[in-house]
Structure 1
């Protein structure tokens, strides 16, 4: 039997005595495979270290690495403030107003870098602190592990590694505050539980059922962001089923939840069959973007239960507005709704004949999409920049 000899980091308390600060897990203890880590994320951590700023991979990326999965996204946290990070990385941009972050760009890939938050920070305000305060601000133990890819060590301030080993979703913030501060955490708890197979601890489950109505007061932008993460996760069917059990679906997608309530078993079967096909599409070679996800979500409404179910020719503009109303409070971009509607209209007959599988993108299919909404006013002739006439280069004289 292997005996773990854990290293412990100590700090000086207010009383001047040494107190336990963090547990450090080394490579042979946590088992993270370095080859699963994005090279650019390592470059960012290394450059910050070289300029005197400790930096760590944090959050869902560490959780995925512990599960032996290659993370889709990498978040990094450091003591460097946004303006300092911006100076160190020319390929970066500061975003956010209430809480500023830095996005570092590598082609189409974005790696998010944030600054340690203070325990005194409320909501999403710019109050910076140290790493221990930052850990105490995070939602669940399994999301509060800090991994250094240079030293191959995990820093654990909140017993998050024990939570991982016990396969549980446990809150760090007291249950009386965790959802009142940010109701979207209810959706995250469900999503993390489904994606990992970990159980949500009983006090947290009870609190979700009791406070599910808080989700209705969330800003539409944050609710939309989380809803799309669920839809394109490849596990949307399982997550939505659990959301329905906790009465979260009726606040995230109220029109769809209402249809399920009144449509009986048949409506429920069609809804979750569409999500099952969406998950299969996400895992396929072509994948699924947000527009395709919306198409799967809205197909049954457009073709069977909505106002256009019995109409031979569906008017595009009216159907477009109807889909936007059906999706509220989710607010996708206009172009995403357009593309979703066009995808659906092209497959209407096949969908009614074959069911949800008709919406799948085939490997050989190439479908350019043009906007079907009224175009903006065309440019007048001769407007815009003139193209310069290209003159043939004169041959260079040979020596």
Structure 2
């Protein structure tokens, strides 16, 4: 990508004119353009910035568009009636256009690093807990995390401005931090997860200097807000590149700080469990690429399955009844996980149901089969069962039995089951066509309507 350096540009800044880059206003949301033009017409600087510029230059189609300006949040609010100011840690303006929100940030200043109270900047133990010091675009650029995220698209002349070498990193397909990596991670430990996520999403490598502090500083993630880590986990695993993100987290040694139970279970060398986790993530990625719905509950159930299963079997070995053993295991694993990632109760409840239904698939008795098929979480639990096919030949046959059973008319399934249980290898198939003796009419069972949410 060609570029030029203007004589009036700050030292090292590259300006890529309109004809030498691939960004087109046709690929920028109309809402973002309205914000950019109104700021510009009011006499303020207005730039598209961050991930949107990065992805547009790479030929992608961003979903979110962020704007940077020299207007203060209050000045932005004065220009847009559909604007609300949010944030205490970082004061921002959100301009709302129906379902779309354009985030507008005032240029951040550098301030004096190391001073605990500098204007509206507050630093505790090296970590920025509040930062509302305004500055210039040059200062704003060096305050951003990765060089590829510090590119600015200028609505005034449609050029791209690069203050820190982000264009070179796009060419090199490498994630490099701005500034000292250890200092930047101490300021905000979640940047380590962002490095892994963006590298996985973009197919980039993480520069050695950016990856070096992971081992030393990974434990700082345990001090991050569990609610914030939940949001970050959604970006990691439910944005269409979950399998790559998972492998990147493992390679970087960060998985244990986000999902400790998952890391422990995988460290035990269970190949079937690894196959289940990776297939579950791959299936979720496929559903997202096809525009299908997904739910975090199913994916979290996959990630935590190994620890839940092992603990449940441990409780049963100590003499606990099956249902109580599974309940104890689920409560313990979910409780531990929520200390790291604040999974909402509406998801943990579904996870616990998916887990508790797994042993019931092995109880192939007439009443229990129909009762299970009528359960609202049956579909999600069945999809989960299919993921477990790598555990054993018997588990694969069990999944096939239940798949065939769902294809049979209820009367035929009832007749095939008779009054007792049927081993999986003797189960009826969809091709079964033996005549069924008429029985007294029974109420037709209600099929479950739960969604699979990721299988």
Q: TM-score range by the shorter chain?
A: 0.7 to 0.9
Asked if residue 307 in structure 1 is aligned to residue 312 in structure 2, the reply is: yes
Instruction: Say if 2:143 is the partner of 1:144.
Output: no
Q: How does 1:282-301 map to 2 (within 5 A)?
A: 282-298=288-304
Say which of 132, 144, 157 aligns to 2:138.
Answer: 132
Task: Give, in whole Å, the separation in 1 of the partners of 2:383 and 2:294.
Answer: 18
Of 79, 85, 91, 2:70 maps to 79
State the 1:80 CA deviation.
Answer: 1.2
* Deviations 1:296-320 (CA, angstroms, capped at 9, x unpaired): 4445555x44538987768998787
Question: How many Å separate the matches in 1 of 2:199 and 2:381?
Answer: 38
Q: After TM superposition, give the deviation of residue 291 of structure 1 in Å.
A: 4.2
1:325 paired to 2:329: no
Aligned residue in 1 for 2:240:
234
- Point out the more displaced range, 161-170 or 317-326: 317-326
Does the 8 A contact of 2:380 with 2:450 survive in 1? Answer: no
User: Which structure's CA Rg is the greater one?
Assistant: 2
Aligned to 1:274: 280
1:26–1:154 Cα contact (<8 Å) kept: yes
Structure 1 stretch displaced more, 169-178 or 285-294: 285-294
- d(CA) in 1 for partners of 2:191 and 2:166? 17
> Residue 115 of structure 1: which of 106, 121, 126 is its match?
106
The equivalent of 1:265 in structure 2 is 271
Query: For residue 212 of structure 1, what is the aligned residue in structure 2?
Result: 218
1:92 pairs with one of 83, 99, 103? 83
The structure 2 residue matched to 1:355, chosen from 353, 372, 387, is 387
Q: Deviations over 1:43-72 (max 9, x none)?
A: 111111111211111111111101111101
Conserved in 1, the CA contact under 8 Å of 2:227 and 2:342? yes
Question: CA 1:293 to 1:5, structure 2 compared with 1: closer, same or farther past 3 Å?
Answer: closer
**SS of match in other structure, 2:312:** coil
Q: Which has the higher helix share?
A: 2
Match among 48, 51, 58 for residue 57 of structure 1: 48
In the alignment, what sits opposite 2:348? 337
Compared CA separation, residues 75 and 291, structure 1 to 2 (3 A): farther
The answer (yes or no) to whether the contact 1:9–1:24 under 8 Å persists in 2 is no
Structure 1 residue runs of 4 or more that deviate by more than 6 Å after TM superposition:
308-312, 314-320
How many Å apart are 1:172 and its aligned residue? 0.9
Report the 3-state secondary structure (helix = DSSP H, G, I; strand = E; otherwise coil) of the residue aligned with 1:251.
Answer: helix
Q: Secondary structure at the match of 1:20?
A: coil
Q: 1:64 to 1:313 in 2, by over 3 A?
A: same
SS in 2 for 1:93: strand
CA distance in 2, matches of 1:6, 1:289: 47
The equivalent of 2:173 in structure 1 is 167
Query: How many matched pairs?
Result: 353
Alignment of 1:22 with 2:13, yes or no, is yes
Matches within 5 A, 1:369-380: none
Are residues 187 and 108 of structure 1, via their aligned partners in 2, closer, same or farther at CA, if it must alter by over 3 Å? same
* TM-aligned CA deviation for residue 34 of structure 1: 2.6
Contact 1:10–1:21, Cα closer than 8 Å, also in 2: no
Deviates more, 1:145-154 or 1:39-48: 145-154
- For structure 1, list consecutive stretches of 5 or more residues without a partner in the other structure: 12-18, 359-364, 370-399
Tell me, yes or no, if the aligned pair for 1:138 and 1:173 is still in contact at 8 Å. Answer: no
Q: Answer yes or no: is the 8 Å Cα contact 2:181–2:213 preserved in 1.
A: yes
Deviation at 1:219, TM superposition (A): 2.2
Mapped to 1, the partners of 2:26 and 2:326 lie a distance apart of: 48
Provide structure 2 residue ranges, at least 5 long, that are not aligned to the other structure: 112-120, 356-376, 390-398, 400-446
Deviations 1:299-346 (A, max 9, x none): 5555x4453898776899878745631533100233343455567742
Q: Residues 312 and 346 (structure 1 numbering): CA distance in 2 closer, same or farther, change over 3 Å?
A: farther
Distance 2:351 2:200 in 1: 27
